[in-house]
Each structure stands twice: as structure tokens, then as C-alpha cells.
Structure 1
Amino acid sequence: MSEKSQSRAVLLALGAVLLWSTVATAFKLSLQHMSPLQLLGWAGVFSTLVLAVGVSWQQGWGELKRQWCQRPLYYLALGVLNPAFYYLVLFRAYDLLPAQQAQALNYTWALTLALLAVPLLKQSLQRVDLLAMLLGYSGALVIATRGDLLALEFDSLPGVGLALFSTLIWALYWILNTRAEGSPAVTLLLCFLCGTPLVWGLMIWQGEWMLPPWQGLLGAAYVGVFEMGLTFMLWLGAMRAATHVSRIANLIFLSPFLSLVFIYLFLHEPIAPATFVGLALIVAAVVIQQRGRRSEPAPAAEQP
């Protein structure tokens, strides 16, 4: 069991936020050279290698073996959710939408988490939760329609649907992940050892197993190392070290605003005013929600 330290959790979370701010740009650049399935398959390979190095550094192979032998179906389920299902849905959303829309919509996962906590964790929705959801999903609608709410015209309705569906998968993964008993590196490596072969099997079945152009491969390496590998370890470590999880979770909403800077500089996407308005609504929703739950307990992963 790891020692609780809120200051350590903040440092880990800020590192994760900074790295995550770059990945929306990396997704779009990589998808110019490969399909969503190829990006997921190759990024999964690089991420697995990074996580294996992390487990080796921590001398955690014995722990990995014990965790797998005790709960193989649990880790297989986690691996199906992440990386396989979640990233396949998310990358397809990025393929269909402007980067600014896909990344902003994906950040409504905290609201989805509150919804899933009702049936899965037996938590109740308070008035503040309902207000936050109304505000947050209104922000998502503003972003998806570029502010033209009455016309309800979307750049890609399937893309919007996939981006929002990805938040459901992501929230479900984090709820299940709180039951993990292993270290963050061990847990994540088990997920990728289970999920990545499934993705490669699908790639072979679809005839997309060939080596991509070097630009795509470089992008997949960046995504695998920083989005799927190192950053996950930082974020999981932050969540498990935190004494107040909600305060750490709020830091993630710095990322979409930083991400817009990278999108503008490297993708040359004009940032729509509606994107800023929608993100402000989403962030306000999360702040309202978390202030209504100041006495949140430690994460379940650290409880017996």
C-alpha cells in the first residue's frame, strides 16, 4: 500500500497534465499517416515496452505474476476496456472531428464517472451533481455545434457520439481500476499485455498489420510512450497517493486549455470561440461538482 501524500500527488498529476496536453495534436498528426486501428496497435507496442521497463525498474515481475494468477479475468476485462476498446473509439472520434472538439468532448468523463458511480458504487446523485451535469453537457453541446445550438448542426454526428461514448468507457475503466491491488505500473502492464494482442489480432484480421510510414510510426511511439505509458503511471500514482482525490482530479481540466495552444500552433486549427465557451462550462461544472463533495474519501484502490 502506497503512502498518502497530497503534495506528491499534485506533482505527479501536473506532470501527467502537461504530457496529456500534447497528445491531441499527436493523435491528429499520426492519423494523417495511419488508421485509428494501426495507431492503436503500434502505440500499444511502445506503451507495453515502456511499462515493462517501469516494472523492471521497480522489480515488480513477481508481483505481476501473482496479480495475474489471482485475477486473470479481472485484468483481461481491464485490458479489453483500456487500451483496446477505449482508444479504438477515441481515435475514430479524432479521425472524424477537429482536434479541438474531440479533446474537449472527451473531458466530460468526470461527469460520466459521477453517473456510473450510482449503479456501480451505489452512490447517490445530489442536486449539485445534477446541476454540474446540466452545465457540463451544455458545454459539450456548445462545442459540438460550434455555438449554433438552434441549428444543431455537427461537423460529424458519429464523431460526437464516439467522443462521448469514449467517456463512458473511460469512466468504467477507472471505476474498475480502483479495485486493482497491484502497483500502478503492474496494473497497467497487465492491461496492455491483455489488450494489445487483441488489437493486433484485429489488425491482422482487417489486413492493417503492415509497417506504417515513418511519420506515423514516430507518432505512434510518442502516443505510446507519453499518452498510454508514462502518463498513465503518473496519473495512477497521483490518484493513489492523494488524500483528496477530487482536488487532484480537478487538475486534469488544465489540460484541454493547454491542448488548444498546441492544436493552434502545430495543427493550425482556428480555435472557435464556442470551444472556449464550452470548455469553460465544462470546467465550471466540475468545480461545482467537486466543491459539493469536499469530504470525499480516499480512493477505493487504497482501501482493503
Structure 2
Amino acid sequence: MNNKLKSLLFAIASIILWSTSATAFKLTLKGLSVSHLLLISSFTSTIIFFVFMLLNSQKNILLILRGKDFKNNLTLGIINPFLYYLILFKAYSILPAQEALPLNYTWPIVISIFSVLFLKNKLTARTIIGLIIAFMGVITIATRGNIFSLHFHNLLGVSLAIGSSVVWGLFWILNLLDNREPSEKLFGSFLFGTILIAFYVFLFDADFNIQLNYFLGAVYIGFFEMGITFFLWLKALSLSENKAHTATLAYLSPFISLIFISLVLGEKLFASSVLGLVLIVGGILIQQIKQN
């Protein structure tokens, strides 16, 4: 099996697993609180990242407690998994999955804006056009197609879903400025983040009464949405002959997610959700063209 085929298989596996995330969120939140889901899933991910650290850079495990690394890990951990998933899971608990999914998927748009603000990237006409198109997608979803009335169906849920993308964009920028190995950064941030989450649960949601199926759902989310899929995706990119084209495959994920949402959750898809997602992804791709 050549590297091109291996890359494609790793990419497809990553996309399919990520595509199940929105459905897994909604199913698991039926029996778990947001904070309990976050604690179990982030703890699962921390174990996964620890294993990868053992396999790839054992000598760097203790460095996460070193001065500068300690500060970076704490900062990243506060942002992700603590704030990001706390906000995201809350959004999914309020909104239909078909709306929370594309609104959260605006994070590449946020990254474009942050790249201009913090990384001094140029604001091109193509970027502006992409932002406008994606913004129209957000409005389409938030108003369920009534874009001229600007009547938001669920302002809190919409704000949380978009807010999660802003938090993720901030995490991405800080992560980009940190030159350590990905496995080291992820283990450090999730270790510190999980400790913070445990304190949060102890203070505000310490009443545990968890059924096994919901516990396993949280483990699934930690294993696949937060954890191992990230490394499958990195493997796909490392084996790819054209990384830009491989990266573009990731934009299939939200559309496949809608299929799972419809078939498994039984949500009747709104035309506004599909159109909004098309506009958001279209706006992102317009910006990406300049990089290919």
C-alpha cells in the first residue's frame, strides 16, 4: 500500500469519526450534565495523549511542569478543553445539533480574523468576501431562514455556539505560537484543563449518578472527538503528497455529520441549516483558495 492510499484512508477515518461527534454530543447529553460529560471525556483524552507522549517523547513528560511550559499548559488548558468544551457542550444542550454544528464550524473564519489581528496577515479582498458569505450563513441558521426579520430563534444557543468558535480560534493562535511537539502541547493542556474541570465539577456539580451507556458515550467522545482522531489526521497529512488538497477533505465532515444527525437523532433537517452550512463552508473555501 503506497503512501497516497494510506493518507487517503487515514483522512477518511478521521472525517468519519469527527462526523459522529455532533450526534454523540446530543445522545450523551440526554443522560449527563455538561460538566460531567466534559470531565469524563477530557480525562479519557488526557490518558490518550499521555500514551502518545510515552511513545513519542518520554523525556519531555516532566517538562510540562517547567516554568514557561507550566504557564503555557495552564493557559492552553483553561482555553481548551475547559472553556471551549464547556461552552460547546452547553450550546449542544440548547440547540438542535444541525444548528450547533455549523455555527461552531465558523472557527476557520475566526482564525482568519485573528490571523490578521495577531499574526499580521494581510486582509485581502478574497478574505473579506469569504467572511461576508460565511456571515450570511450564520445569519441564515440563526434566524432559520428569516434573514430580513433578524429574529433569532435561540439567541443564547447561537451565542454559545459562535462563542465556542471564538475560543477555539484563540486556542489555535496560541497553539501556533507554541513551538513544542503537538503531543506535548495536547497532553499538557488536557492534563491541566482536566484538573480545572475536576475542581469545577466538585464545586458546582458534584452529584454523580451516571448510567453506564452515558458514561461510555462520554468515553467515546473523549477517545474519538478530542483524542485519537487528531493523530489520525496528522498521520494523513504527513503521508500526503498534497497537504492542501488533503486538508480540504475535512470540509466534508459537517455535511456527513448532517446525515448522522438526521438518521440517528431523527432531526428533520431545516433548509436553513443546510443552506447556512453551505454558505459557511463556501466562505471558508474561498479564503483557502489563495493558499493552494
Q: Is the aligned partner of 1:20 residue 2:18?
A: yes
The 1:35/1:195 distance shift into structure 2, 3 A limit, reads same
> Matched residue pairs, number?
289
Aligned position for 1:293: 291
Q: TM-score, normalization: structure 1?
A: 0.87
Are residue 187 (structure 1) and residue 185 (structure 2) matched?
yes
Distance in 2 of aligned mates of 1:117 and 1:145:
28
Match of 2:80 in 1: 82
Superposition pairs of residues 239-278 of structure 1, within 5 angstroms: 246-278=244-276
Identity among equivalent pairs (%):
37
Q: Distance in 2 between matches of 1:265 and 1:187?
A: 36
Which residue is equivalent to 1:62?
Answer: 59
Inter-CA distance 121–268: structure 2 relative to 1 (3 Å threshold): same
Given residue 183 of structure 1, which amino acid in structure 2 is its aligned partner? E
SS at match of 1:178: helix
CA distance in 2, matches of 1:135, 1:10: 30
Name which of structure 1's ranges 129-138 and 280-289 shifts more when overlaid on structure 2: 280-289
C-alpha distance 281-122 of structure 1, shift in aligned 2 (>3 A)? same
1:1-304 pair list within 5 angstroms: 12-58=10-56, 60-66=57-63, 68-69=65-66, 70-208=68-206, 210-236=208-234, 246-294=244-292
**CA positional deviation for 1:293:** 3.1
Q: Show structure 2 runs of 5+ residues with no match.
A: none
- How many Å apart are 1:74 and its aligned residue? 1.0
Q: Indicate if the aligned counterparts of 1:40 and 1:87 stay in contact, CA closer than 8 A.
A: yes
Distance across 1 between alignment mates of 2:237 and 2:277: 23
Q: Please report how far the alpha carbon of residue 16 of structure 1 lies from its aligned counterpart in structure 2 after TM superposition.
A: 2.2
Q: 1:243/1:171 Cα in 2 relative to 1: closer, same or farther (>3 Å)? A: farther
Partner amino acid, structure 2, of 1:187: K
Q: Which moved more, 1:6-15 or 1:181-190?
A: 6-15
5+ residue gaps, structure 1, are 295-304
- Secondary structure of 1:112's partner? helix
Q: Which one is further off, 278-287 or 128-137?
A: 278-287
Could you list the per-position Cα deviations for residues 177-221 of structure 1 after superposition, in whole angstroms to 9, with x for gaps in the alignment?
Answer: 123333322221111111001011000000335242222211101
Residue identity in the other structure for 1:85: L
Q: Secondary structure at the match of 2:61?
A: helix
Distance 1:138 1:163 in 2: 16
Deviation at 1:9, TM superposition (A): 6.1
3-state SS of the aligned residue for 1:71? helix
